[in-house]
Structures are given as structure tokens and as C-alpha cells.
Structure 1
Amino acid sequence: MAVIGAGMAGILAGAKLRERGVDCVIFEKADRVGGTWRENTYPGLACDVPAHWYTYSFARNPEWDTLLAAGPDIQAYFERVARDYGVLPLVRFGDEVVSLRYVDGGWEVATASGHRDRFDVVISAAGVLHHPNIPKFEGAESFKGAMFHSARWDHSTPLDGRRIGVIGTGSTAAQLTAALVPRAERFDLFQRTAQWVLPRPNLAYTDEEKARYRADPAALEALVQQYRSKTIDGYATAVLDYDSPQLAEIERLCRENLETVRDPDLRRRLTPDYRAACKRLVISSEFYGAIQQPNANLVTAPIARIEPEGVRTADGILHELDVLVLATGFHTDRFIRPAKVIGRGGADLDAVWGDHPVAYLSVTVPDFPNFFMLGGPNSPVGNFSLIETCEWQLGYILQLLEGMRRGDYREASATHEAMDRFEDERRRAAERTVWVTGCKSWYLDRHGVPASWTFTYARFVEEMTAPRMEDFETR
């Protein structure tokens, strides 16, 4: 088997395949494991999902210092799991997959280094947050200061006492605002769209709590399940019905948090014109406090161009800057691409996904036998643990692999009928979700349809429990 990517999902796949004695190679374009937590190293980086839930079920970590773990601690956790579970020897580092082609019942894999190999099965664990979205601004090349995307942080650039600008207002920008305002001489946040911000104090775990969880894994697991239930019964339920009481409660908490902004004009400019959770919620108890500091400035005029000395906005004002950070997100519809994937009969994944990426139950695509995805198109996304969703998806894939190992079939892929039925049902279910209530977000495809799981999380768990083999073409 080949696994593409050694981030969170690739480490998971490597650990579980090794456990089952499967001959596995993991292809990783970088020189370390970690995925998005390796790529992102910006100041203030943290996960907005409770750390104890954002762990593998087989590798809980009683040592987290805070409710929401810092990025370097999460990266260290993934490196430790990869080492402890024998994943590192499986990885070909610095070898990016550029093409996969299904020929005579197997996958021919080619990498940028010229390496060629052949596999029975491929699992894409490429993730979605690794292709930075870099907007084109007139005059960007003329800027005299340091300019970089938040996922390509230049640590050689000094920050203290500098004039810093950040473009964007999502989760990354909120974390950067809290981290950089205390360090900057002046901080300008360029906002195109206001965001709803849900507060969550980042409580510290005491040494006594850590010792208890270390000594009593059952107590730690109970804590994990508490966080899990609260999120799934709250957020994951709220987003599926824009009239739900759970969504009303989220909106109440967001509005209550917004009231902590004392200046009426600033509060007005920070108030979104869409429903809470229509975009991915920003989780922060520090953002509003930081943006209200005397050296912080919220800029809502559109950016006209970038000049040598800074950013010129449409109102004619030049915002002079030493550092400009693009917190502008990622191209979240790439998945395994730009690698070229050619399936049975010459089926081209780029053509299949030409309108928008699709997959049966987010895991498999018709005409691409033995090609499976973790975190693929239409997976559950949002403010909850993607590790858990990938564990469910991998469990589903492993059941299909067991059929191959038993000799029941050599290849399996979803039928076109199953794919069409699922996609039609998913789109109809989207009509009640908060994601279609009037905002633009990376949750939506080019047609304005949520590119995510639009059913309940319980339905996801049920679907992943066992494959319905009547929905598969096997040979």
C-alpha cells in the first residue's frame, strides 16, 4: 500500500497499517511529519479544538498544558506518535507524489525525484490545509518590507516595535492579532468580512490533573468523551438546522462576546451581517481585547493596492508597514492535487472533479478502484476533532482491505449509482444548513453548495461502521 502524506491522517494510516502487518510506504513531500502543524509556525498558533479530544484514540496524551494546545506542542505530539508507533521508517521524506495511474489492476506511483513504484492500494492522506491562498494585489512586488503568507512564516523577520499589517480575519488572523498587538508599534488588521467570535478561555491543567490522567486512563477518556459530546450535541447539531435552539445559543454567546467591544463604531464594524457558524467560527477569548488596544487599528476600507511603503486602501489612506502577513487561508478543494490521478479506463480525477470535488461517503470515487481518501471531499468539517473523523474513515477503509486480504475481490470502488444517490441526498440535506443562509466561505463550492457533510454526525458514524458492499463495484 501507498499512503500520500505524513500529516495527522498519514501518521494514523501508517500506525494502523503497520499494526496489521500491511506492507506500506508513506510518501511525504517535506522533511518531517506533521502536515499543517509542520507548515504553520506563526506566533500564537493553537488548535481551537480541546487538545484531549484532538488526539488519536490509541495515543491519548495526559501531558497537555492547556485546554487548547499550542501549535509546537501539537507538532511534538505527532512526531512522538510517529516515532513510538513505528511510522517514521515507513516514510519517504522529501519525495512528492506527482502522478498515480491505475494500470492492470494496480497503481503506478511516480514522484518528483523520479522514483517509480507499484501498489495494490493507495490512500490519500494529503489533507486540505497545505496549498496557501495568496491573493493577487496590484503592486505587491514593490513592497519594501517583509511580506509572506501565514503558513510560510519568515522567522528571520523581526517583529518587536515594528509596524505590522495582517490581511484576513479568520482563525489565523485572530490568533495573530492576539499575539502581535503586544509586540507591534502599530498593528493594522485589514478586514474584508467581519467574523463571529466564540469565546473559549484557554484554561491551564494543573500538575495534579495531569498526574490523575496519567495514572487513570479511564478518567482521561471520560474527559475526552465529555468534550466530544458537548461539541457534537452543540455545534455539530446546530449547523445542520438554521432554526435549531443550539444555533440560537451559539449566536447568543457570540453577540454577548461582541458586547465586550466598548467603542460603538468599532463594535459596529466588527459585527457580521450573516448568521453565526455560516462561516467557520473563530474561537478566541483574546481577539476583541487585542483589537481594542491603542496601537491596534481595524481597517475596513478595501485594499486598492500595495505600495513600497505599505498598503493603500480605497479611501486613499496609505497604511505604512514594515511587515505584511497574508492570513488568507488555503485552497481547500485541492486534496491530492496537483498530483495527476488517472483511474480505470483513463478516467482523470481532474476532469471528474472539474465542477467540484465529489466522493462517495467522502472516501472513494467511481472508476478509481482501490483509491481511498482520509479527509476527502465532503468529510465532516468544522470546530471538532478531525482526528476522530479520520479514524472512522480509516476503519471503513480497513474493512474493504480485509475483503481483499481474504481474496473476496482484488479491487473495489463505489458505483456511479451509489455516488449519484449520495451526492443528490447530500445536496438536498444542505438546504437546511446554516452554511447556505447568506455568506461566502470555504465551506461552499462554486455553486454555493456546502462542500461538507450535511447530515448528522451520528449518520456519519453509522455509515463508517461498515461498508454497504452493494454500493461497490468489486472485481
Structure 2
Amino acid sequence: MTQVKRNPSVVIVGAGMTGILMTIKLRQAGITDIIVLEKKDAVGGTWRENTYPGAACDVPAHMYTYSFEANPNWSRFFARGPEIKQYFEHVADKYDVKRDIRFNEEVTDANYNKGKWTVKSSKNNTYVADFIVCATGILHHPKFPDIPGIENFKGAKFHTAQWDHKVNISNATRVGVIGTGSTAAQAIPELIKTGAKVSVFQRTPQWLMHLPDFKFSITMRKLMTRFPVITKMHRNAGKFFLEHIFTKAVTGHFIQKHLLNFLCRANLILSVKDKVLRDKLRPNYQVGCKRVIINTSFYKGIQQPNAELVTDGIERITETGIITKDGKHHDVDVLVFSTGFNAFNFMRPMNLIGRNNLHIDTAWQHKIKAYRSMMLAGYPNFFLMLGPNTPIGNFSVIAMSEVQTDYVIKMINKWRDDEFDEFEAKQEAIDEFNAYVKEGLKGTSWVGGCQSWYLDADGDPILWPYTWQRWVDEMQEPQMEHIDTASF
């Protein structure tokens, strides 16, 4: 007689890319008691939030899809933000994900006690679940610069992740952009195209790589729709490039490292004619130390007559502009902060409280660590998706989430088969995993002498230092010797 599997209750936090995926995969595994709590009014996560001009993905479009839901209709090699958001909306509708989503309901508290999680939301609702899956993403809490006088500025000011579309930017507008990361590299050329006078305040220059961003013709899209193998070929080509060239380059493989170095340096030399400007745009750290920006428009834009690159540090912000350390006042009507995110928040500001009233701020007060990026000691039946040391470096986060989702399903299935009632990572397993990662980081580009959002308070990158395939292989099956279990 076949034993009937238990049907656990699962709360998923977030309805972005990972939350949608997890809902679909849990249902396919036969799990039906699912609630998704989403703090905003729509699915899409980062692609719902980031609506700045030029928003695009730097992963080839056909690779930036779920493996089970190809999209033959991408209009460009690198998909734009609205099209990506539309893709996630389509998947959520096709798989009827929205029926399990509670929109405009942010998780405020999650407390574990004797095999159950009690979850409270901003609507004063309470949910009790066997499992919590935090699909809150990595970059979703905008970070603002700590500059004196910022509160005194009288013009419009906003973060790129909170773009104010009511602000009219025209050729009569003076725009100041603080930051030159990947978001800025996309938004700045679009601002320059408006004819506005754009002053870019650069603290640290970035390495840029040129990859052609071509359009897919209607004929090609029809062919990919009719012959899915063509779409698959595009996906596999993108995966091969990122896995065997890009990822290996930043993780210390000699040939790929020097190839990436050559391509980025050659791009700067060939793209920027003026030597003075070129010297200002040349980083003094090795290629790959910060996230390499794949972009074809920034160098062209910054050389336009209505663009200005300011490399003197910012002294303070006034009511009408910015004073740099050389004493010059830069008049600005609109101030745009492209200053990144608080990358180490993860599920916070949620009050996550595990066994013995262990608050996540206490658990992580000395170091943010997780076993296999997903499991924490003292937090049974809990998963953090895309947590610390997930292989972020220029790879598709969708591929990462799919690998992690399969791992989660395998662990939950063990629970469903009554192998145990609760499980959590052993502290020594977390320590060993982090020592293993730290050892591998020694040969990577991320320790190449720069400051980046990849680095924690100790200066350690929160990335995976080995190959993509190695990570996939090591995530194939849960190593139960690293996990504490208990039955009630």
C-alpha cells in the first residue's frame, strides 16, 4: 500500500521571479497549500520596481527565461525592462500563480515554534505554515548616499529604482546623476538623448564590455516560434558564453581572465577618443573586481556635448546643486541617485525569529552566513533564496533559482515522507561551507583591490568562487550529514 504524502503549508515571501517559480514547482510536486505574500500590487519584483529609462537585463534574453517556459518573442538580444516584466506577468497568468498571491501585504514578522511558523503581515493578518521560503531577492532596498545637505535640495530628486516619471526632463533641464554602476550606464545615455545637460558624478570608474545588442527581426521571431530548437540554440549559446567565458574569467581561470581583460581595455580605447576623458574613465583595479558592465551606449553618450563627467569628490549638496571638493558649484534642476542597493538586507526588515527567540539581526550580527546560501542554523524549515554566496557574478539569476528550487523541493519531499518534522543546517556545516568558499575566493577578481557591493563588512565577497557546473553538481542532492533533523 502506497503511503500518502503529507501536504505541507508553505508561505512564500515575494512574488518576483523566484516566488513565481517556487509556486509553480511546489504545485507540480503536489503541494497545494501555498500562500504568496507580496508587498506591492503586481508580480515581477525588480522588473516591476525598476522603470528608469533604458532599464534592461545584461544577460542574453533567451537565457533570462525559465527553462520550462521559453520566449521566442524577445525583441532584442538584451531584453528591456518592460518586456521582462511582461514575460513574468505572462508566466504568472499562464500557470495561474496569482490565485495564491496576497498583494499589497508585506511580511512584518515570522516566528518559529515547535514545527510551525507564525507569519504576520502589514494587514494584521496571521498565517501559520510548516515552511517559509523567502523569495525576497537581492537588490530591492535602494541605497542613498550619505552626503551633507542632501535634504536641502529644492529640485526633484529620486533613486533610479524609484524613478519619478512625473518629472519632465527636456533640453532645458540640468540633471545631476550620482553613480556610474550598471544602472547608471543604462539610464545616463537616455537622459543625454533628451538634450538635457547631464552632469555625471563619478566616484569610481567601471569596466565596460561591448556586446552587440541587436534586434530580432519579425521573421526571426516567427522562425523561433515555429522551430523551438532555434530558441533553444540561442539560450544554449548565451549559457555557454556566461559559463565558460564570463564566469570563469572572474573566478580566476587564466585564459578567460586575460581575454575579458583585453576586451574591456580595448573597448575603452576604441570607444573614447579623447585621452583626458579616457583616463578619467579607466579604473585602477583589475577587470571583474566590480561587476563588469555589458553596455554599448554609455561611452557614446558621455562624449556628447551636453554630457559632463565630474570626477572631483562631492563636498555637499545645496538647494540648487552640488559643490565638489574643488570648490565648484554645479547647478542642477533634477538629482538622480544611481547609488545601488543595501545588498545585505535579504529578508530584512522582516522580524525573522527562529528557535529560542533568535532574531536574524542577532544571528547575523558578526557575519552574514548561510549553508548552501539557503539554510540557517536556528531557523528550521526555512529557506532563503538567492542568499549569500549564490553565484551572482554575471550569470542568470533565473538559472540559480531553478537549481535552488529543486533543492528545496527535495528537502520538503523528505519531510512529506515523514523522515522528520523539522530540519536546519548545522552550525559547523555553515562554518565549513563558508571556509570552503573563502578559500576559493583567493584567486578571483573580486579581491582585486576595489570596493563593491559584493563585499561584506569584513571585505569578503558574498559570491561563489568556483565554476557554475561545480555549484550545480554540489546542489544536486542534499547532504543530510550537514543537517540536523528532529521528529515530534
Name the SS for the 2:424 alignment partner: strand
Once the 2 structures are TM-superposed, how far is the Cα of residue 274 of structure 1 from its aligned partner? 0.2
Shift in Å at residue 425 of structure 1?
Answer: 1.0
Partners of 2:320 and 2:192 in 1: how far apart?
Answer: 20
**8 Å Cα contact 1:377/1:452 also seen in 2:** yes
Question: Shift of the alpha carbon at 1:127?
Answer: 0.6
1:277 to 288, 291, 301: 288
The aligned counterpart of 2:22 is 13
Matched, 1:78 2:91: no
Are 1:376 and 2:387 counterparts?
Answer: yes
Question: Do structure 1's residue 26 and structure 2's residue 36 form an aligned pair?
Answer: yes
CA–CA separation in structure 1 for the residues paired with 2:366 and 2:48: 31
Matching of residue 434 in structure 1 with residue 409 in structure 2: no
Q: Equivalent residue for 2:430? A: 419
Partner of residue 136 from structure 2, selected from 123, 126, 134: 126
Question: Aligned partners of 2:131, 2:377: CA distance in 1, in Å?
Answer: 15
Code of the aligned partner of 2:230? A
Distance 1:200 1:144 in 2: 39
The 8 Å contact of residues 164 and 184 in structure 1, kept in 2 or not, is answered as no
Q: Displacement of 1:356 after TM fit?
A: 2.7
Pick from 248, 252, 273: which aligns with 1:262?
A: 273
For residues 409-463 of structure 1, the C-alpha deviation after alignment (integer angstroms, 9 at most, x for no partner) is: 1111111121111111111111111101101101111111111112221111011
Letter in 1 for 2:298: F
Query: 2:454 maps to what in 1?
Result: 443
Query: Within the alignment, does 1:360 sit opposite 2:371 as a pair?
Result: yes
Separation in 2, partners of 1:441, 1:89:
39
- Give the Å deviation of 1:19: 2.4
Q: Partner of 2:5 in structure 1?
A: none
Work out which of the residue numbers 223, 229, 232 in structure 2 matches 1:212.
Answer: 223
C-alpha deviation, 1:407, in angstroms = 1.2
* 171, 174, 181: which one aligns with 1:163: 174
- Tell me by how many angstroms 1:322 deviates: 1.1
Q: Tell whether the 8 Å contact from 2:393 to 2:463 is kept in structure 1 after alignment.
A: no
Once the 2 structures are TM-superposed, how far is the Cα of residue 349 of structure 1 from its aligned partner?
1.6
Query: Counterparts of 1:268 and 1:437 in 2: how far apart (Å)?
Result: 20
The code of the aligned residue for 1:113 comes to K
Deviation per CA, 1:288-312: give whole Å up to 9, x if none.
0100001100000111111111111
| CA-to-aligned-CA distance 1:277-328 (integer Å, 9 cap, x gap) | 1000111111101000011000001111111111111111111111110000
On the 8 A contact 2:243/2:467 being kept in 1, the answer is no
1:397 aligns with 2:408: yes
1:111 is aligned to 121
How big is the shift at 1:218?
2.4
Q: Which moved more, 1:211-220 or 1:267-276?
A: 211-220
Instruction: For 1:35 and 1:149, locate their aligned partners in 2 and report how far apart those are by CA, in whole Å.
Output: 16
1:227 maps to 238
Is the CA contact (8 Å cut-off) linking 2:174 and 2:334 kept in structure 1? Answer: yes
Task: Report deviation, 1:27.
Answer: 0.5
Contact 2:51 2:161 (C-alpha < 8 Å) held by counterparts = yes
The count of residues paired between Structure 1 and Structure 2 equals 474
Structure 2 gaps of 5+ residues are: 1-9
Q: For residue 166 of structure 1, report the CA deviation from its aligned partner.
A: 0.6
Query: For residue 92 of structure 1, what is the aligned residue in structure 2?
Result: 102
Q: CA RMSD in A?
A: 1.0
CA distance in 1 between counterparts of 2:470 and 2:357 reads 34
* Cα distance in structure 2, aligned partners of 1:381 and 1:185: 35
- Inter-partner Cα distance in structure 2 for 1:292 and 1:389: 37
User: Would the aligned equivalents of 1:240 and 1:454 in 2 still touch at CA under 8 Å?
Assistant: yes
Asked if structure 2 preserves the Cα contact closer than 8 Å seen for 1:163 and 1:184, the reply is: no
Asked whether the equivalents of residues 322 and 330 of structure 2 are also in contact (C-alpha less than 8 Å), the reply is yes
Q: Deviations over 1:145-183 (max 9, x none)?
A: 110010011110001111111100000111111111111
Equivalent position amino acid for 1:121 in 2: F
Aligned residue for 1:337, secondary structure, equals coil
Q: Are residue 57 (structure 1) and residue 57 (structure 2) matched? A: no
In the alignment, is the contact (CA less than 8 A) between 1:55 and 1:61 conserved in 2? yes
Match of 1:398, SS state, is helix
Cα offset for 1:51?
Answer: 0.6
* Identical residues among aligned pairs (%): 43
Matches of 1:256 and 1:432, distance apart in 2: 24
User: Deviating runs (4+, > 3 A) in structure 1?
Assistant: none
> What is the TM-score when the length of structure 2 is the normalising length?
0.96
SS in 1 for 2:398: helix
Shift of 1:105: 1.0
In structure 2, the residue corresponding to 1:67 is in which secondary structure? coil
1:326-352 CA-to-partner distances (Å, cap 9, x unmatched) read 000000000001101111222222111
Distance 2:465 2:359 in 1: 27
2:4 aligns with: none
Are 1:462 and 2:473 counterparts? yes
Cα distance, 1:123 vs structure 2: 0.4
Deviation at 1:374, TM superposition (A): 1.4
Following superposition, the deviation at residue 200 of structure 1 comes to 1.4
Name the amino acid aligned to 2:212. Answer: P
> What's the CA shift for 1:76?
0.7
Question: 1:134, 1:269 → 2: CA distance?
Answer: 24
Matched-pair contact (CA < 8 Å) for 1:143–1:308: yes
Instruction: Tell me if the contact between 2:112 and 2:353 (Cα under 8 Å) persists in the aligned partners.
Output: yes
1:326 aligns with 2:337: yes
Matches within 5 A, 1:39-54: 39-54=49-64
The residue aligned with 1:188 is 199
The 3-state SS of whatever aligns with 1:432 is coil
Determine the structure 2 residue equivalent to 1:316.
327
Within the candidate set 354, 374, 381, 1:343 is matched to 354
